[in-house]
Each structure stands twice: as structure tokens, then as C-alpha cells.
Structure 1
Amino acid sequence: MKRALGTALKTSALKFPALLSIPALAIPALLFAGTMRAADAPVVVTSIKPIHSLVAAIMQGVGEPELIVDGAASPHTYNLKPSNARALQEAKVIFWTGPGLEAFLEKPLQALGSKASIAELDKAPGLVKLPFREGGAFEPHDDGDDHDHAGETGHDSDHEHDHDHEHGTFDTHLWLDPMNAKAMAAEITTTLVAADPANALTYQANAKALDDRLTALDKEIATTVAPVKDKPFVVFHDAYQYFEHRYGIRVAGSITVSPETIPGAERVSEIHRKVGELGATCVFAEPQFEPRLVNVVIEGTSARSGVLDPEAATLKAGPDLYFTLMRGIADSMKACLSSA
């Protein structure tokens, strides 16, 4: 073993003379530095892709978080796998949105995540929380200032409208406003620094870079949707309030209030009438749910169909996913509404 290592070092020295100046005892440390660093990274588990993306961006250079709801799965219908349970048991830090969206995680976290720091991101300071819209026919919002402030008075004013609701009374698709993503990223950073102070500087530097990217993304999306924001459209389920609130767009209604519940014939007929009455230009399906219903809703109308992916079902997990997700929603809206 020693002779083989010596031969390898001599060969390397002929190719890289600088190795001759490194003390022999330091060579093994250099060879295994990458492994040591990976071992030092805390085990971090995240619930859904948008949250995983924000955590992954902040952890770059330290480690990579694990993801529970992967692939095309939806948190609305997800069942925990044995591999997910093992990850929760081993985790040092766990990030989830909260029981309003990821009800499947509530009991497992109590049973399996007792050793971890658990961050419920729907409690992050500074979040804008909008009341959950019941009924879902649904009529245009309040006829008042729902949209006016989003495009005219500056985005920062949105935070004045924060609602401190308990679980189940606010819309849980919080990440669809980049300002909420900023608030969640700040909470993620605070949690990681407390759990892993040795890597605090890396987390904080990454968080600053992420915050700057989110600022630029917000301006980009506002520009993208500006030409079509006054055209009404219908969505599969009511998941887009935060995007709507932020950019002043017109969601005229949803096919179903909750994606767990397939609407009946009466409900579909109601939305079909609504599309005609409002002159809705597009009806958007989602990758995880029944697209056939969208075809029924637009049949006999001038509306077009499109696809929106609010939970990133079709996207590959990673630090850039959040940006791809948000741009995809804006681009899909613009493409369908512009051509209608």
C-alpha cells in the first residue's frame, strides 16, 4: 500500500512539480478534503420543490438538501414513502411550508423529526398572507383596490396588507410572490446559521445573492405580464392569488376550489357559463391534474387552453428551479393571453 502510494506521488510529481513542496503528511488530507467537507454538511430535508430550491440556493458550497415531494407528485395528494421517513429521522434541519399545504407531514414530523430543527415557513416574519377564497365560482375580487397597488404604488406596499391568519384560513401557495420568497429565504438563512454556525458566512453570502436575484426576477415578471394583465382567465384550482395580487392580473375563476376534489357536472357547467359571460381568454390546466375538464370548460367558447405549473411538477429540482417556475408561469400567461 505504502509503495503504491509512493509510486503514485512520484508520478504525480513529474506532472505537477508543485506537489514536491507539499509536506508528505498533507497529501492524504488534500486527497480527502472533499469527502470531509461533504461529511460536515448538516442533513437538511425539505418538503416541496419551491422550498427545496430556495434552501439549495442558500446551501450552495456546503451541501445539498433532500427533497420529499419529488417528480410530478403534489403535496395535495402525497403519501410519505419509507425513504422519506428515514430522511426525517436523520435530519438536523427540516423545512416545510406548514400543515395548511403539507398535511401529510404533520404527524410524521411529530414522530420522526424530534431531533431536528423544524422551520415552518408559513410563519416566517414579513410574509404577505391572503385569505383563502371559499366558494370558487368565483366573482371578481372586491371591485376595489385588490389590484391597484400591485402595479402603481410600488411592490413594497404589499407588505402593509399582511394578514395574521391561523392555519387553514389563508392561501398556502405563498411562494408565488417573490417578496414572500424573500421572507422565507431570510427565515431559512436564520435557521441554517443557528443549526450550522461553522458555515454561517457561506449561508449569509448565498442569501444576499439570492435576495438580489429575487429582486431582479420580480421586475422581470412585472414587465412580462404587463401587456396582458387586464385579460381575464380561469385556472384549474385557486393557487395563484399571490401571483395575481403581486402583478395585478385578472384571475376570473377556478374550475375547482381544491385539487383533491374533482368537480361535479354542475360545477363544470357553472364555470363554462362563467367563461362565456366574462369573455375569459384562456383556461389553464395543471400537469398533475385532470386536463380533460379544461377541454369541457372551453368547448363552444372562444377561450384557449394553456398549462400552468404552480408546484413545479415538471421541473428538475435544484437552486434555479424557483426562477424557472416563476418565469414559466409568467411566460405561459403571456403566450396564451396574447394570442387570444
Structure 2
Amino acid sequence: MSRKLLPLSITAAFMGGTALADVPNVAVDIAPVHSLVARVMEGVGTPDLIISPGASPHEYNLRPSEAAALQDANLVFWMGEGLTPWMEGAVETLADGATVTTLLETDGTILLDFRENALFEAHDHDDHDDHGHDEHAEDKDHEDHSDEHDHDDHAKHDDHDNHAETKGHDDEHAHDDHDSHDDHDDHDHEDHADHEGHDDHDGHAHGDHDPHAWLSPENANTWLNVIAAQLSAADPDNAGTYFANAAAAREEMAALSAEIAETLEPVRGGSFIVFHDAYQYFENAFDFPASGAISIGDASDPSPARIAEIQARIKDEGVKCVLAEPQFNPGIVEVVMDGADANTAVIDPLGSDLEPGAALYSQVIRNMAQTLADCL
């Protein structure tokens, strides 16, 4: 007896209750945000990651598959121009007609002023609520920053310079041309090969505020609902799944924050210095301020005078830990550490070595906390 085959869209509707053909195409800029979107879409679909893990968000040449993902997108989620200034033009030209969500501009997002003096002011680690630095307006207390939401984007970027050995997107991304991802010398997409006007890393060419807002779990919580709402508007048939996933992810985020607080508690009060000032959202979320940063700008090496200042601070304050990043020159940290009695470790705010997907965000935060605790 012959049997008539159902159309693909109807067949999909009987598989897990989801009509896969109707699921929107979603493109996301960086891996931690991609992870949040992937978590909300679990059981329904998979978003595309635009910036390869480990690559610099600030300056990036789109591969053909990534440009295609933007062109095909119904929804785009990105941090904003403060982190990826080049992507604004890409979104406007390639994702024309897509619904674009700029997370740094969404209601409820905590935004912190960028600390102009990346040496920071000396912290009283026993009393984080009373730093007493009223005369340094640009270095306000971390707690004050968390209460103010009058901020916009900043040019401070995770400038992870050409982490050439970045792995291609995982199988979730389903692009036919992923075989070409290893060829980093062939990124010649005509619309994005140039980055004129984005060379001023030390200046605040893209705003006066820190764009590394994904390092706040509270922001992640806010964005989970934003993501679910946008997906539901585009795909109302799966709205229940999106909001249920977002609610479950918020519970997971609360558990993660409690876990991180427990991890950091034994070393609370320990002083540490970071390579560049990208971590104040994490510091603020867990009341664990850094003593300073080696580099003022993402793209420039610190001057000999600045290295001398950092070396003096390490000795004067008894800094216990100096944190490097996998994408920056390790030799600079070695120079800073010359003669210092402190530990070093590598911290990664983007999860360069992690598999992209729903679990990545929590693992990034967990790894950062554990790295800091071990170093201290």
C-alpha cells in the first residue's frame, strides 16, 4: 500500500511539536550573547554566531558564511557599536529588514561608566561601600555605578587580536561553507574589509561607557526576557517555549551567582590587577573590585612609565594576582611581574576555548571566578 508523504513543514510540526520551517533565522554577534539566545531557543532552533570564538569583536572581517547569516537573519542580537563598531554598517546593509536588538540600549540594562584612569584608585577591600574618592569623578565607586543607568556605549573593547587559531562554528550553525573558516587570510568581504575610523582604541571613539556588560549576570537576566520577547513576536507559535526557557535560564543564573559568590568568598579582599579594564561588571556584580589595569587601551601596549606605575602598585599594595588574557602579548605581563611577588593567571571574558552553545555563558562566568580564586 502506498503512503503519501507529508510536506516537510507539516512533518516538522509533528516532531517535538515545533514547526521548524517557521522558526526565525537568528544571528548573534559574540559567543556569550549567542549562548543566551541559544538557551532561549533550545528545543526550537539554533542561532548563528557571527564573530568566531576568540576573534576580536572590535575589528573583524566577515567570512562569506557569516555575511550570509546576517543576510538571511530575521532577528539580530548584538551588543552595540561600543563593542563592535564595524558591525553597525554590516547590520544595516546585510540584515536590512531584520529586527535588530541592541542589547546595550535595552531598558533595564545596567551600564557602567568607563574608568578613565585604568590604574583606578586604591580600594578599601574591607569596606567596598565607602571608597571616599569624591575628587575623582571618573573613578566612582563600583556600587555607585550599579545604581546609575544614564550610560551609553564605550569604545573599550575586548580587543582579542587575531586569535588566528580560532575554531570554526560548531555543527549547530549549519552553514555549508564552514570548510572555508580556517582561511583567515581570505576575509575580503567587500563591505567590511575596511575599518576606517576605528583605530582610536585609546580614545573613546564609540562612547564614554564600558560595553562589556555581558559580564553582569543581572544584565544576562534582563536580556533573557528581551530575547524571549523578540523571538515570540517573530514566532508566536513557539512563544511558550521561549518564555519557559528564559524563566529556567533565570533560575540557572541565580544559582550561578550564588556559586560564584561561594567560590570567591575565601579570597575576598585579595587584590588583583587585570590586563585591561574589561571586568568591572563582574567586579560590581560580586563586590570584588580590581586594583587596576595594565593597559589603558585595547590596541596599545602600556608605556614604560605606566608599567613602572603598575609595578609600584603591585609592591605597595601587596597585589597577589596579575591576570593576563589569551589574546594579548604575554611578554608585557612578564615585564610587569619582574621582581614582583605575585601569581599570574589567564582570564577569558569571551570563552575563546569553549564550545559555542547554551552552556557557554555560565561556563565563562564560572571559569573567570575560579581563575581569580586560584590566582589569589
TM range (shorter): 0.7 to 0.9
| 1:282 alignment partner in structure 2 | 321
Q: State the distance in 2 between where 1:305 and 1:77 align.
A: 28
The percentage of counterpart residues that share the same residue type is 43
| Counterpart residue number, 1:172 | 211
Paired residues of 2:53 and 2:350 also in contact (CA < 8 A): no
Alignment map for 1:46-195 (pairs within 5 Å): 46-140=28-122, 146-147=128-129, 161-167=147-153, 168-195=207-234
Q: CA deviation at 1:39?
A: 2.6
Q: How many residues align?
A: 309
Measure how far apart 1:128 and its partner are: 1.6
Flag the 1:123–1:288 CA change in 2: closer, same or farther, 3 A: same
| Pair 325,147 (structure 1): closer, same or farther in 2 beyond 3 Å | farther
Match of 1:45 in 2: 27
Deviates more, 1:242-251 or 1:205-214: 242-251
Inter-CA distance 169–28: structure 2 relative to 1 (3 Å threshold): closer
Cα-to-partner distance string for 1:59-114 (whole Å, 9 max, x where unaligned): 01111000011222121332233322221111000000010111120111121222
Following TM superposition, by how much is the alpha carbon of 1:262 offset from its aligned partner in structure 2, in angstroms?
2.1
* Structure 2 match to 1:18: none
Letter paired with 1:104: W
Q: Paired residue for 1:295, among 334, 349, 360?
A: 334
Matching residue of 1:17: none
Q: Which amino acid in the other structure matches residue 310 of structure 1?
A: P
Paired with 2:8 and 2:210, the residues of 1 have a C-alpha distance of 51
**1:197 matches 2:179:** no
Task: Write the distance in 1 (CA, Å) between the matches of 2:253 and 2:80.
Answer: 22
Q: Quick check: 1:210 aligned with 2:249?
A: yes
Q: Deviations over 1:283-303 (max 9, x none)?
A: 001111111211111110101
Moved over 6 A (4+): 26-31, 142-145, 157-160
Quick check: which one's helix share is greater?
Answer: 1
Q: Secondary structure at the match of 1:309?
A: coil
CA offset digits 1:143-187 (Å, max 9, x no partner): 9975579xxxxxxx9997032123322211111111111011111
**Distance in structure 2 (CA, Å) of the matches to 1:218 and 1:166:** 25
Query: Does the residue aligned with 2:275 lie in a helix, a strand or coil?
Result: strand
8 Å contact from structure 1 (residues 44, 91) kept in 2:
yes
Larger Rg: 1
CA shift in 2, pair 1:261/1:71, >3 Å = same
In structure 2, relative to structure 1, the CA distance for the partners of 1:196 and 1:270 (3 Å cut) is same
Q: Are positions 1:310 and 2:292 aligned together?
A: no
Note if contact 1:131-1:163 (Cα within 8 Å) is conserved in structure 2. Answer: no
8 Å CA contact 1:58, 1:206 repeated in 2 = yes
Q: Which amino acid aligns with 1:161?
A: D
More displaced stretch, 160-169 vs 29-38 = 29-38
1:225 aligns with 2:264: yes
For residues 326 and 160 of structure 1, do their structure 2 counterparts lie closer, same or farther at Cα, with a shift above 3 Å needed?
A: closer
Look up the SS of the partner of 1:103 in the other structure.
coil
Indicate the larger mover: 67-76 or 139-148.
Answer: 139-148
What CA distance in whole angstroms lies between the structure 1 residues aligned with 2:7 and 2:62?
41
Task: Give the TM-score of the pair, scaled to structure 2.
Answer: 0.76
Extract unaligned runs of 5+ from structure 1. 7-23, 150-156
Question: Partner of 1:273 in structure 2?
Answer: 312
Q: Pick from 264, 274, 289: which aligns with 1:250? A: 289
Q: Which residue of 1 aligns with 2:374?
A: 335
C-alpha contact 1:127 1:159 (8 A) present in aligned 2: no
Between the aligned partners of 2:251 and 2:125, the Cα distance in structure 1 is 34
Q: Give the distance between the partners of 2:130 and 2:353, measured in 1 at CA.
A: 33
1:60–1:206 contact (8 Å) kept in structure 2: yes
Q: Which amino acid aligns with 1:54?
A: L
Structure 2: distance between partners of 1:115 and 1:31: 27
Shift of 1:326: 0.5
Q: CA RMSD in A?
A: 2.6
Q: Would the alpha carbon gap of residues 71 and 166 (structure 1) be closer, same or farther in structure 2, given more than 3 Å must change?
A: closer
